[in-house]
Amino acid sequence: MRLLKLFSTIILAIHLNGCGEFFSSEVYVTGKVGEILVVCDDAIWNSSIHSDLDSNLTRFIMPYFPDVATFELLHYNDKNFIGAVKRHRNVLFLTIDQNLKGNKGKLQYRDDVWANNQLVIEIIAKDYTQLVETINAGADHIHEKFEYESWNRIRKRFAEEKNNRIDSELKQNFGVHIDLPNASKMVSSRKNFCRIELPAASRPIEFVGASKQDLGTIFSGIMVYQYPYTDSSQLGTDQLLKARDTMLKYNVPHETPGLYMGTQYNEFVYPHSSQESNFKETINGIEIRGMFEFKGRFQHSTGGAFWSFHFLQPKTNQLVCVSGYVDAPSSTSWTHAIREIQAIWKSVTIL
C-alpha cells in the first residue's frame, strides 16, 4: 500500500512540476458541481474511449425529469491544462506509459493535489487496448469515488456554517442535527414538522440550452417531520410515501387555496427507494428519490424533485424523515441543488 501511494505521488508530481506551478492547499476547488475534467491526448479523447467514458461516467440520478446527469465530461490536453483549471474539483488523467509492467493497468487516487477538497484519479496503461480495459473495469469505482466527493464537499462546507436557532429547534423537536448553508430560514415549525428554506445564493443558476432572455429561479428547502414508530411494516416504500403525502397535505400548502405538495406516481418518475446511511454510517435508513406536484381541488402543472431519508430515532421511538425538495424550471440545471439536498440529509446525526 505504501509503494502504491508513493508511485501515485511520483506520477502526479510529474504532472504538477511539469508546468512549474504551485497551488496552496488552502485554495478551494474550481469548476461546477457535476463536472469531471478529463486530461488526455486529443487522439485518445477522439477515439472510442470518449463514448466509453460517456456511458460509464455520465449516469443519471433517477427518477428525475428532466434528466439529471451525475457528471458532464470536459476535455483538456496537457498543453491547456494550466493555471486555475488545475484546481478543478474532479480531474481524471488518462495516461499511456509504455514502460508500465504487468498485464493490467493501474488506478491511482490522490486528494488535494492542486486545491483543497480536490479528487484526482489517474488511469495508467501500457497501450491503448489496456487503457480501454482499465477504464471499463474500473468505471464503477471511479464513478462512485467522484460521486461521493460531489456531495461530501458540500456537506463539509455546510458543516462550517452555523445557525443556532435552527439547530436548537431541530434538537428540541426531533433530537437531530443537520448541516445547512448560511442564511437558511425556518419558515414553519411545529413539534412534528418543520420546513427550512435554503438561500438561493448558495448555488449559481445554470441554464441549459436557454437564451439570455430566459429567466429562472431555483427554490429549494428541507422538511423534517416525525411520527410514532410502531413496527417494521411502516418502513415499506408505499407506507413511507403515504405518510409523506399525509404530512405534506397538512403542512405544505400551495399559495393557491386548495392545493398542496404531493408525490407524483407517474410510471416514468415513480419514486425509487433503497437502503442507505448517513455520512458517518451511524444511522441506517431508507432513502427515496422522486418527483412532487401540487395536488388538490384541481391538478397544477408545477412541481419538482425530492430526496428523502427515513430512519428510526431510538431515543424517542419516532420515525423521522429529512426530506429536501427542488422546485426549478426545466431550463436550469438541477445538479447542484440536488447534490445540496443529498449533502444535507447525509449530514444528519442523532443528538
Query: What pTM was computed for the model?
Result: 0.87
What are the pLDDT digits (tens) for 120-159? 999 999 999 999 999 999 999 999 999 999 999 999 999 9
Same domain as 177, residue 150? no
Cell 508500465, residue located: 100
**Final residue before a domain boundary, out of 158, 177, 204:** 158
Dig out the grid coordinates for 54 from the structure. 460517456
Same domain as 173, residue 146? no
Mean pLDDT is highest, among 31-45, 190-204, 287-301, for 31-45
Exposure letters 41-66 (e unless 16+ CB within 10 A, then b)? eeebbeeebeeebeeebeeebebbee
What are the pLDDT digits (tens) for 246-256? 999 888 776 66
Same domain as 154, residue 187? no
CA distance readout (Å), 341 to 75, 297, 320, 327: 28, 30, 16, 12
Phi and psi, residue 314, nearest 5°: -65, -25
CATH number, position 38: 3.30.379
Same domain as 177, residue 136? no
Same domain as 285, residue 144? no
The answer on pLDDT for 207 being more than 60 is: no
Q: What is the mean pLDDT of residues 53-81?
A: 95
Bridge partner list, 286: 275, 310
Same domain as 176, residue 117? no
Q: Fill in the amino acid letter for 273.
A: S
Q: What is the mean pLDDT of residues 76-99?
A: 96
**Final residue before a domain boundary, out of 158, 179, 206:** 158
pLDDT (0 to 100) of residue 254: 60
The answer on pLDDT for 275 being more than 90 is: yes
Same domain as 320, residue 194? yes
Name the strand (E) or helix (H) holding 335: helix 335-346
CATH number, position 187: 3.40.1000
pLDDT (0 to 100) of residue 328: 76
Same domain as 114, residue 206? no
- Average pLDDT of every residue of the chain: 87
Same domain as 166, residue 85? no
How many structural domains comprise the chain? 2
The answer on pLDDT for 307 being more than 50 is: yes
Same domain as 202, residue 125? no
Same domain as 183, residue 109? no
Same domain as 338, residue 225? yes
User: In which domain, by residue range, is 295 found?
Assistant: 162-350
